[in-house]
Structure 1
Amino acid sequence: MRTICFYFQVHQPFRLKPYRFFEIGDDHDYWDDYSNRNIMNKVAKKCYLPMNQLLLELIHKFQGKFKVCFSLSGCILDQMEAYAPEVLRSFQELVDTGHVELLNETYSHSLCALKSESEFKHMVQLHQEKIKHHFKGYEPKVFRNTELIYSDSIGEMVAGMGFDGILSEGAKHILGWKSPNFVYVNAHEPKLKVLLKNFRLSDDIAFRFGEKTWSDYPLTTDKFIGWLNQVPQEDEVINLFMDYETFGEHQWKETGIFEFMRHLPEAVLNRTNFGFSTPSEVIANASPVGKINVPIPISWADEERDLTAWLGNDLQDEAFDRLFELEASVKRSSNPEIQRDWLYLQTSDHFYYMCTKFFSDGDIHAYFSPYESPYEAFINYMNVLSDFILRLKQDEKERIAS
């Protein structure tokens, strides 16, 4: 079997509004509805709607020989419900073709797998329920953790929840001489299959496509097909994993990204010995070649492929630790607004905005952040968290009094 597995991450965070110190205790509305609505509608127009339409056309044109998979965070589904129901309908139409796979993940794109197994399982269950609700009882069999964060222990938890496979990054420091173009198994639970991103070919599309200083610019279908045909014949699967916003948002329409994608499936099917598969199909049809040992968590972020995009400095660690100190109190609360805010405050983007790495990847971090500096992001988040703590204490008092 020689196949290509396209995976797209679809996520938008609920962004915090500017929240000042003197508002603590008075203002319990943390979310920037204006920005969230505008950004959702902008990305829907530039990416989600045109790309979904293109994929639908390609699936019909090739009668199911072209396939893709998505993970849609609970945050993006909530925003589709609130701001862009037509986008949700377009994803439902794609899934209805039977040639699009959906993956499970944490509801709010959380880093909880690094901190709390109970919260991790809770987040996954919430996401499962959300997917079932919107996609006719659909039950994903493959998991994708936030930002492809993976380790042996995270894989164990995922296997324990009954998943057949998990996606992760084909990090050089983990693979060594091995190739990402095979199926592996978790080091502790061999029943869990591990699919690894081919980061070079994925990032050629996701990051370098419109980069005019890149030595291989412009990336054409012919050039990409040439690279695929250079892949050793024994390699079984090319995992092309990327943000869905690559199409039209990170790489603008003017770069030719949509036309590249429009012509790629036909070129692959006619000029290579590759086909297309979903993750479940890869897992079912390819035999694992061995275990992949990942004792320390990896991710798909930055040159290091580690956790330092989110938990790499004192600001991030302080905010993350303070947040999860509240888990037990939140679990005791039945207040739906507290539960909602707890979910959204866990979103990894908040910690990403606090990143102080300004070396190889600083420009990427600055592109995604709505703040002037990581320190501003930290202060704003901690002000919100201070108010959230006061609400939890008041909720506890009222519960005891009743």
Structure 2
Amino acid sequence: MKHICLYFQLHQPFRLRKYSFFSIGGDDLYFDDVQNREIIQRVARNCYLPFNQLLLQLIISTGYQFRVSFSLSGTVISQLQVYAPEVLASFRALVDTGCVELLGETSAHSLAGIISEREFRRQVTAHKHLVRQLFGQMPQTFRNTELIYADQLAPVVHDLGFDTILAEGTSGILEWRSPDYMYAAESCPAVRLLLKNGRLSDDIAFRFSDSSWSGWPLTAATYLSWLNAISGDAPIINLFMDYESFGEHIPQSSGISGFMEAFISGAISAGYTFVTPQEAGALLPVSSTLSFPAYTSWADTEKDLSAWLGNDMQREAFHALYQLEDQVMKYGHQQDILTCWNRLQSSDHFYYMSTKGMSDGDVHNYFSPYASPFNAFINYMNVLTDFSIRVRKKTAAGPSYVRPYV
């Protein structure tokens, strides 16, 4: 019997206002509340509410055989609490079925794990308790921001109370091996690794509505035939996707809802078993240990950190932000400082600064609210400069680390 682990990521950042050099020192309103409200409410209408209802119906209609997992970033939760609380209620209804596992991650959807273990631990712990408070479930599976993973993360994540980590099944790491097995982390064998089947995941999340794709239009029967073609002894197919793809990036008019309903129902009828990551860990043996000597992610062609740290602008902004960590943590009990600190760490701000070309550049541009990567960099650095001034004033901590940009 083959298993399918279906996982969805929900995330929305707090997008910044247009913030000029002349605002520095006199304006501490950094975030575009109007745009953030409009986007979260639109995505709730197009994706979160209708697809939550569809998945709830599938859980019930399949006799609770359909199982699914989600991770909700702390930033999307914060916005849903204010702008669309009905979405959180719909997730509670899903969790109450007993067929949904909620995953842990960094509360700010940040890159903290690659630069500051202290900040990483703080955010992961905060996110765990937020999920427990809102949904009554303590996460045991960890999914780092954008599936970023390397060997050094596993012992830390295990120490934080997780026994399973999701990661990208890159060819550079797997070589001759398949992502369709259970692995253990070489750096911490007590941690199981579930690896994304990139081709089959992206056939839905990225290619479903692409009329130039050779597989278009994709039907549930065709997709199931591709799953059936996987080696017979491979025990699990991990399908990891952004939830916003369903109804937001891929419009309802494409037939995506009908496809997902037919695929899930058809898979169960064909003998597949849907499992959550924790259920997979209880059912499946570990095939072997696996080492990730360098950071991988699920972003862009390279599947590394270059989506966020691939050019000088991105690296300068990133390091300027984390140079403020000691000051913020010393006096970060002041809620306004801590709230801004969290929001400014979201990986999206660095993603918008990418200067990649070709198809990767098209994806970056699609998500960016800026006219250019340079505009994204200037705007972010102006905000960060003002934030550093505020922190300095509150802490009496000497000159700012960050220089302003016009």
TM-score range normalised by the length of the shorter chain: over 0.9
Could you tell me which residue of structure 1 aligns to residue 403 of structure 2?
A: none
1:154-175 superposed Cα distances (whole Å, 9 cap, x missing partner):
1221112121100000001110
1:130-279 equivalent positions in 2, closer than 5 A: 130-136=130-136, 138-271=137-270, 273-279=271-277
State whether structure 2 residue 287 is matched by structure 1 residue 289: yes
Partner SS, residue 396 of structure 2 = helix
The whole-number CA distance in structure 2 between the counterparts of 1:355 and 1:187 is 32
The alpha carbon displacement at 1:25 in A equals 0.6
Per the alignment, in what secondary structure is the counterpart of residue 152 of structure 1? coil
Farther off after superposition, 341-350 or 326-335: 326-335
* Structure 1 residue aligned with 2:401: none
Secondary structure of the residue that 2:184 maps to in structure 1? Answer: strand
Q: CA offsets per residue over residues 157-213 of structure 1, 9 Å max, x none? A: 111212110000000111001000001111111000000000000000000000000
Q: By how many angstroms is 1:360 displaced? A: 3.4
Indicate the SS of the match to 1:250: coil
Shift of 1:262: 1.2
TM-score (normalizing by structure 2): 0.96
Provide the residue aligned with 1:64 in structure 2: 64
Per the alignment, residue 55 of structure 2 pairs with 55
Query: Which whole-Å deviations, capped at 9, do the CAs of 1:276-335 have from their partners, x for residues lacking one?
Result: 000000011111111111110000001111110001100000000000000000011121
Structure 2, gaps ≥5 residues long: 398-406
How far apart, CA to CA, are the structure 2 residues paired with 1:383 and 1:269? 53
Q: Which runs of 5+ in 1 are unaligned?
A: none
Contact 2:68 2:275 in 1 (8 A): yes
| Aligned equivalent of 2:312 | 314
Quote the sequence identity (%).
51
Q: Are the aligned partners of 2:12 and 2:75 in contact in 1 as well (CA < 8 Å)?
A: yes
Residue identity opposite 2:311 in structure 1: N
Give the equivalent residue in structure 2 for 1:324: 322
What is the rounded CA distance, in whole Å, between the counterparts of 2:310 and 2:280 in structure 1? Answer: 34
One of 250, 275, 299 as aligned partner of 2:297:
299
Counterpart Cα distance in 1 of 2:73 and 2:256: 24
Quote the residue 1:383 is aligned against. 382
State the 4+ residue runs in structure 1 displaced beyond 2 angstroms.
none
Contact (CA 8 Å) 2:166, 2:194: kept in 1 or not? Answer: yes
AA partner of residue 285 (structure 1): L
Q: Deviations over 1:17-48 (max 9, x none)?
A: 00000000100110000000000010000000
**Greater displacement, 389-398 / 4-13:** 389-398
CA distance in 1, matches of 2:265, 2:395: 60
Letter in 2 for 1:309: A
8 A contact 2:15–2:36 mirrored in 1: yes
**Contact 2:179 2:197 (C-alpha < 8 Å) held by counterparts:** yes
CA contact (8 A) 2:310 2:354 kept: yes
Residue 129 of structure 1 and its aligned partner are, at CA, apart by 1.5
Cα offsets for 1:80-138 (capped at 9, x unmatched): 111001111001111111000000000010000000001000000110121111112x1
Structure 1: how far apart are the matches of 2:83 and 2:269?
A: 40
Does the alignment pair 1:30 with 2:30? yes
Distance 1:245 1:291 in 2: 33
Q: Is 2:278 aligned against 1:280?
A: yes
- Whether the 8 Å contact between 2:296 and 2:305 is mirrored in structure 1 is yes
Tell me what 2:86 maps to. 86
Confirm or deny: 8 A CA contact 2:58 2:265 kept in the other structure: no
Once the two structures are superposed, residues 315-363 of structure 1 have per-residue CA deviations (whole angstroms, 9 ceiling, x without a partner) of 0000000000000000111210000000000000000000010123111
Q: Distance in 2 between matches of 1:207 and 1:397?
A: 49
Report the secondary structure of 1:265's partner residue. Answer: helix
Amino acid at match of 1:23: S
- Distance in 1 between residues matched to 2:23 and 2:37, nearest whole Å: 23
Deviations 1:41-77 (A, max 9, x none): 1000000000000000000111211010000000011
> Residue type matched to 2:343 in 1?
Y
**Aligned length in residues:** 397
| Displacement after TM superposition at 1:373 (Å) | 0.3
SS in 1 for 2:189: coil
Contact 2:125 2:160 survives alignment (8 Å): no
**1:7 is matched by which residue type in structure 2?**
Y
3-state SS of paired residue (2:4): strand
Aligned-residue Cα RMSD (Å) equals 1.1
Q: What secondary structure, in the 3-state scheme, does the structure 1 residue paired with 2:307 have?
A: coil
Structure 2 distance, partners of 1:188, 1:86, is: 41
SS across alignment from 2:306: coil
Query: 1:149 and 1:219 mapped to 2: Cα distance?
Result: 29
Distance in 1 separating the partners of 2:37 and 2:128: 25
Q: Hey, what's the Cα distance between the residues in 2 that align with 1:183 and 1:269?
A: 21
| Letter in structure 2 aligned against 1:382 | M
Aligned residue for 2:127?
127
SS of match in other structure, 1:18: coil
Q: Could you tell me which residue of structure 1 aligns to residue 13 of structure 2? A: 13
